[in-house]
Amino acid sequence: MTDLQRLSVGEAEFVYRQCGTGPDILLIHGFISSGRMWEALMSELAPHYRLWSLDLVGFGDSRHRDDARILTLQDQAEFVAAFCAAVGIRPYAVIGHSMGGAITLTLTLNHADLVENLVLVAPVITGQLAFNLHQLLNTRVGQLALTTSQHVWPYLLRLGSVGKLTPPPYLTRDAMRRGVEDFQKTTWPAAYGGLQSILTVGLDRRLHEIDKPVLIITGTYDEVIPASDARLAASLIRGAQLLEIADVHHHVPDENPAVFHRAISAFLDSTA
């Protein structure tokens, strides 16, 4: 059972979940998601670790006091660092999914002494998106569409419930329902700033600086972040382990939790 808590840190108002006892594990969700995505993993690890799963600022129920501020990946990494300082933890491991993987890497690069071990799940590395969507979004027309999306965002949030009717076959209805609810809670400044940061992230240029144990997990059928990003990261981070899970898409924790949980438990045990 996770304990839902609230904490004000500077200009950020965090909502987070905490459970378990032992070394601290920090969990960072991805784009248009929330800390709820980690509930199954938290239950799995709670007998041996203390888990912290926060909603990033502007996602889930966490908010910034300036509700118009555009929030980048760098901003989110600094918010996470401030959160760790406020609750007094130096995580034994940080686990990040998708955009959360990029935030995990940025946090490590900016605050090397804060993080001991990393798990990157379908991480954003180069800014490439499936179906070459990044190329479209980086055009003048694409950038105009992103900027003007602010005006239609409230209508998109109301239409989000339509997604409940057509869940992808590889996701349960519970996972799809959670995704729709998370989408409806996401603020436009967080979504816009996050996506713009993803398009220009270029983390592959700095991965050689990472000198910590790293496990990278990806699905071979990822339709959001190409699996090639995970393979590239594994080739650039010295000693990184790579696990490609067959027939799995972007939502690895929901699609194959048994393999996912075993891999993380084995990695954490090996670094103890």
- Looking at residue 46, its pLDDT comes to 97
Question: Which CATH number does the domain housing residue 31 bear?
Answer: 3.40.50.1820
- Do 209 and 106 touch, CB atoms closer than 8 A? no
DSSP secondary structure letters along 145-160: HHHHHHHHHHHHHHHG
Number of domains in the chain: 1
pLDDT tens digits for the chain (272 residues)?
567 899 999 999 999 999 999 999 999 999 999 999 999 999 999 999 999 999 999 999 999 999 899 999 999 999 999 999 999 999 999 999 999 999 999 999 999 999 999 999 999 999 988 756 666 666 776 676 667 777 566 656 655 544 444 457 788 888 988 988 998 899 999 999 999 999 999 999 999 999 999 999 999 999 899 999 999 999 999 999 999 999 999 999 999 999 999 999 999 999 87
Domain residues for the domain of 147 are: 3-271
Beta bridge partners of 7: 14
Contact status, residue 53 vs residue 38, Cβ threshold 8 Å: yes
Q: What is the DSSP string of 234-265?
A: HHHSTT-EEEEETT--S-HHHH-HHHHHHHHH
Spatial neighbors of 68 by CB under 8 A, at least 6 apart, are 189
Residue 164: its H or E element:
none
